[in-house]
Amino acid sequence: NAGVTQTPKFQVLKTGQSMTLQCAQDMNHNSMYWYRQDPGMGLRLIYYSASEGTTDKGEVPNGYNVSRLNKREFSLRLESAAPSQTSVYFCASSEALRWGGGAKNIQYFGAGTRLSVL
C-alpha cells in the first residue's frame, strides 16, 4: 500500500550542483505533479504531467526540468542548484488532470523531499 514514494527524503547540495528527485506511484494514475512548499506560501506547482509522455510548466518552472519516465515515474531535476531552491518538494498523483475531473482529480501526495542548497 505504498501510494506515492519520493526519494530521497533529505538532501543538502552546494550551489551549482545538480540532482534528481525521484517519484513513483503505484495507483495507476494518469496525472502527476511536482510542487514546492515554502513557509507561508502554500504549495506552488512546478511542473505537471497530464499523462505518460506529456509534461507542462506550472507556476514556478524556472530552474527545473522534469521527465515522465513511464506511467509510474515522474522525476524532477535541478541542473544547477541555487539557494532560492531550498524548499520542501512534494510529488503528487491523481487519476485525472487537476481541473474538471471532480473526484478523479483528488491528489495523493508523497512524504516530501527536504532540500537545502548552501
Partner 1 sequence: SQQGEEDPQALSIQEGENATMNCSYKTSINNLQWYRQNSGRGLVHLILIRSNEREKHSGRLRVTLDTSKKSSSLLITASRAADTASYFCATDGNDMRFGAGTRLTVKP
Binding site for partner 1 (CB under 8 A): 4, 35, 40-43, 45, 59, 90, 92, 98-100, 102-103, 105-112
Amino acid, res. 112: G
Strand 108-109 to 87-94 pairing: antiparallel
Nearer to partner 1, 54 or 80 (CB): 54
Residue 101 neighbours by CB distance under 10 Å? 14
CB of 39 to partner 1, least distance (A): 9
Cβ proximity to partner 1, 18 vs 106, nearer residue: 106
Q: Which is nearer to partner 1, 78 or 112 (CB)?
A: 112
Q: Smallest distance, Å, CB 100 to partner 1?
A: 5
Q: Which is nearer to partner 1, 73 or 109 (CB)?
A: 109
Q: How far is the CB of 67 from partner 1 (least distance, A)?
A: 21
What are the E-state strand segments in the chain? 4-7, 10-13, 19-25, 31-38, 42-49, 56-57, 64-68, 74-78, 87-94, 108-109, 113-117
Nearest approach, Cβ of 112 to partner 1 (angstroms)? 6
Give me the half-sphere count of Cα atoms (radius 13 Å) on the Cβ side of residue 97: 12
